[in-house]
Structure 1
Amino acid sequence: MRISFFARVSLGVMLLLLLVIGSLAGALQQAAQQALERHAQEQLNIGARVFERLLALRSQQLQDEVRILSSDFGFRDAVASADVPTLRSALRNHGDRAEASEVLLLDLHGQIKASTSAAFAEGQPFAYAQALLTQLQNPQHLLVVPVDGVPHLLAAATVRAPLPVAVLIMGFEIDRALADELRQLTHLEVTLLVQTDNSKPRWLSTLLNAPAQQLELLRQLDSDSRHWQPLALAGEHYLSLAVPLSEAADYQISAFLHRPLNAVSAALLGLRERLLSIAGLAFGASLLLALLLARTVARPLERLARSAQRIGQGDYQAPIERLRVPELAALGAALGQMQHGIAERERQLAHNALHEPHSGLPNRTLLEERINSAIAAERPLGVLLIGVANFSEWLSARSGDAEQQLAQALAQQLLELRRPGLSVARLLDDRFAVLLEEASAAELITLADQCQQRLSQLRDWQGEALGLQVHIGVASYPQDAHSSEALLHCALAALHEAQMHHEPVQVYEQAKDAARQRQIILVRDLRQAAERGELQLHYQPKLNLRDGQIRQAEALLRWQHAELGWVSPGEFIPLAERTGSIAALTRWVIEAAVAQIAQWHAQGLVMQVSVNVSAADLAAFDVCQVVEQALSRHQLAAQQLVLEITESAVMQDQQHALAVLQALRELGVGLSVDDFGTGYSSLAQLRQLPVQELKIDQTFIRQLGPEGDDAVIVRSTIEMSHRLGLKVVAEGIESALVLELLRDWGCDVAQGYYISRPVPASALQAWLASDAAQVLQG
């Protein structure tokens, strides 16, 4: 029996609808299943990050507490004096305030000197010395150790006085309360597992805790796995993720996060039923509509639909069938034009998305894809990041399409290297990259040298040398990084190092990169340090050895960075001098010192304060104007301010220094030569300067004794200075013996840790009124 056209169209449409709706329902079912699984995995990932963040926050709290306690002057004094009862009291008080489980004090050999916990007996060695060393070197590293089978989070800091004398440790027990808190935050079940060599595994879990379930839970957990783990317990199914907390030769501590799946499966079953219902309704309605349309346009439209489907799937090569019905023929022609236009645009978009327009080379996106592909296959590779330092200057002297010509010329030179596994890309206008797989370190350096030679000796289209300044940074996987982003960062750090030291090729070194990143942060934040209130002045008192009175102090700049903490002046002052920030710092110091002198004067305390001025300050701005305005603003006598100029600054440009110092002297400001003896000047040279005071450098004072070269230098300097009418100040005094020697030799003023360390202004006032200051003043 011959089937009619209408029947064939209807049957075909019916089968097509069944196929489409079935495929759609299956795809939706599969997509829903995958989405739910991804959702569970995402929840576990989020839970893992939340857990790590909770530990990191708690670690930071402990770190802040140990840093505060280790910096406390009284505590350090108790450590230095080995006052164990005082130490125990301080440890217990600070531990209670921080809600710590234990607080320990170790000596530099790892012996426990004081402890608030019976688990850490005094006089015993600290069992986790190696892990503690890692935590001290990297405060961001979490130190988690087992204590009686229970995981404890520890934070440590070095106690200095000023050299390291002890290590302070504060611990926090990772207990059921933390697990319950994480469960409330993430709606995930939590299991903490501690495995040691000499005892049975210890654990706690928010899951059901019947004995049989405990054994089954321990049997299924795999702390060595870094992937998703299915878990079945008491009829409930879970998806689990292991979060390693700490691992050593004799213990392993892990956390497991569990996402219940039964509720998800029930929701998926309900979704399947709703999809089937919707699919049935859609099939019935579509069938009715198909029967209505099949008489006239079913078959032509079906062919056009198949063509459109091919286009939607990315097939732009199959031609569109010609139709006899004029209206449908026009529709087919329009569909063919659309197919051609989409194909051309996608080709152009795909190329532009992965290539740089001027050179035609792959861009950063394609380069990163190739790097990630090699890393995923664990193929060793190296990256050469090439920078042309004078690229912009070269282009500014030319016009037209010079950039495109230069980019193509550079690309051609790199492509002519023709090595297996070599790829070339352009990342920025003046920056190219060469990727070489399966290359040794020696091969990478050889290739970098070849690239540098080729590009540096490149000639233009008239045969003249371009004179390009080319530097190359080299980094490799897996030695330096394990991701494309990190690998490119390492290569960029090596490139910056090469540019800074004018080296043609530089291989990445992690230590230099870390130091460079710290310097970048300090240089960046130093400009706003005063505005953020991070700068402070500490004052070190000076003892007049002739009458035993303390009427002078030196103002010393201190910087407490918001993230890095206290930054040594020996670190940020040279950076300020190199980056031109020293002038702003000196202005701030002069203003702050004058304001403090005026405040003391109003309170009845008359002090003469000295401020350090560098060679850069003498040349960078008008010191006289800054000092005069500050004194006038606070209505302060000029005699109460002394400017200390280093010996090297005075001798660097004597004529300019003489003019500036003469102007300052005319204002009435006191002048002192600092660090005398470290340069190449002599007293005969300094007598030409209008200074009233000479400060002997502490290198001659610290180890001073009755005999020896230092004694000869110091005594002769004091005698000759007095003959020239100069007052003599000795700094760096750290013992009573040195103080008495200087007093006997006729030194005028003494300064050093034996008298007092530099302290804030309020602390200096309190110290002046203390018994220690009264004893010094007789």
Structure 2
Amino acid sequence: MARGPSGVFSSLGDQLPFLGRLLVCSALLALVSFLAARAQPHQGFVPVWPSGGLALALLWRHGARYWPAVLIANTALSMSVGTPLLVALGVGWLQVLIVMIALYLLQRWHVDRLLADMRELRNFVAALLLACVLAMPIYATRMALVFDYPVARALAFGADYFLSAVFSFLIFTPLLVGWPRDGAPHGGRRWLFVAALAVLTVASYGVLSADVALQDRLLFLLAPFVVACALVAGVGGASTAAAILTMVLIAMAQGPVSIADSILRSVFVAVAALTGYLLAAAFGERERVAAEMDFHARHDALTGLMNRYEFENRVRAALHDRVRRYAMLYLDLDQFKLVNDTCGHLVGDAMLRQLAATIRQALPADATVARLGGDEFGCLLPHATPDSTQIVARGLHDAIQAFELPVGSLRFSVGVSIGATFLLPDEDATPDDVFGRADVACYTAKDRGRNRTHFYSPGDASMQGRKIEIETVSQLQMDLARGAFELFVQRIDNIAAPADTDEFYEVLLRESGAHENSIESLLGVAQRYGLIVYVDRWVIEQATRFLGRHPGRRLRVSVNVAATSLESEGFESFVLGLPVRHGFAPAQLVLEITEAVAVQNLTHAVATLHRLRKHGFGVSLDDFGSGVASFGYLNELPVSMVKLDGRFVRDLGKDPGAEVIIEALARVARLRGIVSIAEWVEDVAQIPRLRSLGIDYAQGYAIHRPAPLASVETKVLAAPVRA
């Protein structure tokens, strides 16, 4: 469709700015070429033509549409030295060809202009060499056909053109494109770069002022300055220093120069530039890798937000800020587990990524946001007041409630429970104090119905204990699997028959690196929340593996078992399968139950104990004598051992009544064919007296302090099998 006059003028008007820039670039390239020609009256074998490298930089940085500037500049240069127009156009088109081939290769290989790593630098040099190699036979053919040069001389001119073009591209292209978008280096590096250039300039003047015979030797002393500029300013700095060396090279060639000297000088500058580029790329890679590692150490890989480590650093810094008041929001997504369970973790991860962006957009620009782990996020708000914090929290609720994730024909949405607290620099010693309050406030928000915001108040502290219990229970199974617990054992000695060679141990559970009392509280929580079954089965499994690893030894172990475990589904079959699975005799395993538990809960477990006893497993009743039903339970339970309440043993020698009770309990046990064990034996002097009272076995610190199963097993392995 034809355009009217107004359309033509409009299109021309749109092109005028570009045409103006094109003319300016053409003029500048022509000026540089003219100055280079005037500066080299004796060009030697490798003349320096900066316009080639600058032309490639122009097209690489601003686009191939500036190719006419290359044609105009090189044609004008050729005509300025008396070359006919058609021949000059041939020179111009040849330069355009080289530049366009180099540009095509650089773009095809996706070479970044900053040449920031070894791969980029390698591809850059390869593109230059390939483009110039393709141009070399064309230029040689031109010299042979147009000027009727012999083949050898034409090839020499082709080689001269090749070296000159490579030199120009190598030195002057990075001079314009090898800088970051924000220009020269910042801070101290900028001043180091300026100082290095200043010293290089002064040193260059010194080289040129020296005797001509010494200049080539002194020229090599300038190479370290290229390296210095590369280290402080990267490829752009190395290119700047190499350009100064090139000017020195031109100044040294004001008289006739031999081919050998011309080549050596050019190679020196090229090698110095390449060395600088290589060092800049190597150090750039190292700094970039260090920066990436630092970024990944401080940011969440899934969402790109800060991670908990960096967020804690920001909270720590905020605690030292006495000018601004900060608030912390602790976000926990509601019903996110439903998405994970329904659609899988890939969909869950996609939702977290999108929600992270949603949260970031809903926050003020000066807020700090982080993913704290799982589906939990943290926000730090400066200049916070109760009203402004409430407004931000409400905005987060609105943004998250409006969010939906489409998955096929389904659409998933979540809510968020938010705990809010203010930082208290005078009271908070560490970020953990702030996190603790925010976490409790978030838990309170969930406990009160979810999808709401709750500001921490001192009355919320009572929720902390309950929250800790629930978290403890949720971690219990994972802790068992990852080895956060370990088994200790305490030896039980046969004091009635000291020559007995049996090795008898009670197995105790400990939390790795924790105090003994901590495991008691953990087991109490597990008992209250019905997870003691998993603990008991794990301990029994590990203890029987120990037995199976030492066949042929007269080993026995006693393991504490809760009534909940005895009554749990599948417990009997679990225990019955252990001897076959691990290779030990049933009599080597004793299941120990406490009398207190037996009195309250053991009614339904009696049948299970009878069946296990018939298969040869031992059954021990702990704390025998501590309750009124002790003697009656001996009639109902298939007990093979009883452990006397340790309080009687503790009072032995202090309370005459203790001896009477111990003797009576031991006599009752013996009459029923049951072995008696005295606990809490902490003085070896008690052992003869216990033996005289009819006690069969003794256990306590006076006999053996609890030790890790691994250390005891090492001794068992080292000792010979006793007959």
Specify if TM > 0.5. no
Q: Which structure would you say has the larger Rg?
A: 2
Please classify the TM superposition score into its range, dividing by the shorter chain length. 0.3 to 0.5
TM-score by length of 1: 0.41
Q: Which is strand-richer, 1 or 2?
A: 1
Q: Compute the TM-score of the two structures, normalised by the length of structure 2.
A: 0.43
